[in-house]
Chain A
Amino acid sequence: MTAYLDTGDRRRSADAPPRIADLIDEATIQSIAEEAWSALVGEDEYLVPLPGDPLVDAVSSWVEVVGPWTGTVVITTARATAAELSRCLLKEHAPPVLDDEDVDDALGELANVVGGNVKAVLPGPSSLGLPEVGTAPEAGTDVCRVDLLWRGQSLTISVQDSAGVLTEQNNQQKNEVPL
């Protein structure tokens, strides 16, 4: 008969809350983005996981996730790329001349869809904020970031912890997601 010695190590290991970085990674973000692109932008539209040229005239859209983990999902690209994305989303319904409102709306909807699906892989319940568009929000800590090329143009999707820049110890505590 084998005696079972409970050292507590297994229990402590199992009880440790997962860190946000354990729940979301680059592959997950890219998979979510590819699904959104395929459905909304076009079936034959691909996102290539390569960094592109530095952005000129960058614009960002983002949504906040509030719950056991609170942070922001941000899409950043050049405004010209955002306009091209808007035309793809609108397809035959695109007006001859796109105004800024159309471009902001389309980029915001992409953030909404990507953010909603990022939220779905995190422990809930969480709420999703309304999309915002503009200059990138004050950078928090990037939990995860993917640099992509769409039609050769740079596009970045990042999941940012709202805690901002923290000490390593605090950062570890903040990134833990209670179950």
Chain B
Amino acid sequence: MRALVIDDSKVMRRIVSGILEGLGYEVQQAGHGREGLDVLDGGWVPDLVCVDWNMPVMDGLQFVSAVRSNPSWRQVTIMMVTSESEHGQIVRALAAGAHEYMIKPFTADAFRDKLALLGMLPQEVAL
């Protein structure tokens, strides 16, 4: 399975990528939403995108809207991973097309639990 991790923090990209790679994901990283869209435009379409909210150039909400406006990327599962925890913002993200919302800080176990909720744990891990 493939995952794209989009966050302007290199440290956070490494943390999230490390968890996903430990689960068997093939991971690519991007530093903001525009870079993330470039990865998809280039033909590397992931099963899962973990995207931060506040980023320069293109934020996470704009990225989610852009992905959802392209029917060929409909199957991509999107999880917002962000320190934005206001109820109204969670609602906006889900309304824009994100499937799940992970609030920073989180533990690796909590992250895996969210993936399990999404049915995004690779089969050999889920069993």
Contacts and interface: CB of A to CB of B under 8 A. Distances in A.
A130 interface: yes
Interface residues of B, number: 23
A115 interface: yes
* Secondary structure of the A contact surface, majority rule: helix
A108 B105 contact: no
A46 B107 CA distance: 16
Interface string A108-121: 11001101110110
A112 to B, nearest CB: 5
* Secondary structure of the B contact surface, majority rule: loop
Contacts of A126: 86
A89 B10 contact: no
A124 B18 contact: no
Interface stretch (A18-26, A34-42, A141-149, A151-159): A34-42
A126 B84 CA distance: 10
A112 B18 contact: no
Interface string A78-115: 00000000100111110000000110011011001101
A126 to B, nearest CB: 7
A8 interface: no
Interface residues of A, number: 32
A38 B18 CA distance: 18
B89 to A, nearest CB: 8
Contacts of B82: 116
B18 A39 contact: no
Contacts of A131: 9
B10 A105 contact: yes
B83 A128 contact: yes
A7 B106 CA distance: 50
A105 B8 CA distance: 9
Contact of A112 (B54, B85, B86, B88): B54
A92 B18 contact: yes
A41 to B, nearest CB: 9
Contact of A128 (B10, B11, B84): B84
10 smallest beta-carbon distances between A and B, as pairs? A116-B83, A39-B105, A109-B9, A120-B85, A93-B14, A106-B11, A36-B105, A124-B86, A113-B104, A113-B83
Interface of B: 8-12, 14-15, 18, 54-56, 82-86, 88-89, 103-107
